[in-house]
């Protein structure tokens, strides 16, 4: 019985290390109110309140490697109540090829759920996330 418990503990220890390693080296897209000069997001959320005249937030992309391009794009899709996406907009941003993180201020004018996909200049996928915008 002790050998079996040792095997189970060893398995879960290896699994936990694997999960932590993969998490710490993955790319991410976060939504926040601001970004520090060191690339730390301030007041992150997946839900933001805007007025009926619109409101903005910042999209912070963090990579475990250099972006390797001089332009990125943010493809924005509105998601309906059934989960279907409809194209909304593409925003382009100039970046430095050596950057491992960058942010873009994006203004929303309509409430709803949105999927945002970030691509490099060659249209290689970098990161994605979903956000909900609601009126206050």
- Kindly list the domain boundaries of the chain, sorted by start residue: 26-135
| Distance in angstroms (rounded) separating the CA atoms of residues 66 and 82 | 36
> According to the model, what pLDDT value does residue 39 have?
97
Residue 4, Ramachandran bin (φ over 0: left; ψ between -120 and 50: alpha; else beta): alpha
Residue tagged 């956000």 (tokens): 131
> According to the model, what pLDDT value does residue 22 have?
45
| pLDDT mean over 8-17 | 61
Tell me the sheet residues that pair with 34.
42
Looking at domain 26-135, which of 2.60.40.10, 3.40.190.10, 3.40.50.2020, 3.30.70.2740 is its CATH number? 2.60.40.10
Q: Which residue has the higher pLDDT, 9 or 60?
A: 60
> According to the model, what pLDDT value does residue 14 have?
59
Please check the confidence at residue 11 and state whether its pLDDT lies above 90: no
Please check the confidence at residue 28 and state whether its pLDDT lies above 60: yes
Tokens at residue 113, please? 């759920």
- Residues 70-97 have pLDDT tens digits of 999 999 999 999 999 999 999 999 999 9
pLDDT over 90, % of the chain: 82
Edge-to-edge strand order for the sheet containing 85-94?
Answer: 47-50, 125-135, 112-120, 71-79, 85-94
Please check the confidence at residue 111 and state whether its pLDDT lies above 80: yes
Buried b vs exposed e over 21-36: b needs ≥16 C-beta within 10 Å? eeeeeebbbbbbeebe
Smallest CA-to-CA distance from 103 within 25, 44, 18 is with: 44
Question: Which pLDDT band, with edges at 50, 70 and 90, does 23 fall under?
Answer: very low
> According to the model, what pLDDT value does residue 17 have?
54
Tokens at residue 30, please? 């976060």
Contact 61, 101 (CB under 8 A): yes
């Amino acid at each position: 019985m002790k050998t079996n418990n040792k095997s189970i503990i060893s398995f879960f220890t290896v699994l936990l290390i694997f999960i932590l390693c993969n998490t710490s080296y993955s790319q991410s897209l976060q939504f926040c109110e601001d970004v520090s000069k060191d690339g730390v997001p301030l007041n992150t959320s997946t839900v933001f309140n805007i007025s009926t005249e619109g409101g903005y937030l910042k999209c912070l992309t963090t990579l475990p490697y250099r972006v390797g391009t001089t332009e990125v794009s943010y493809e924005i899709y509105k998601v309906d109540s059934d989960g279907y996406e409809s194209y909304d907009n593409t925003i382009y941003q100039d970046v430095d090829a050596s950057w491992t993180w960058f942010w873009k201020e994006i203004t929303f004018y309509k409430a709803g759920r949105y999927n945002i996909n970030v691509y490099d200049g060659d249209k290689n996928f970098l990161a994605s996330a979903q956000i909900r915008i609601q009126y206050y």
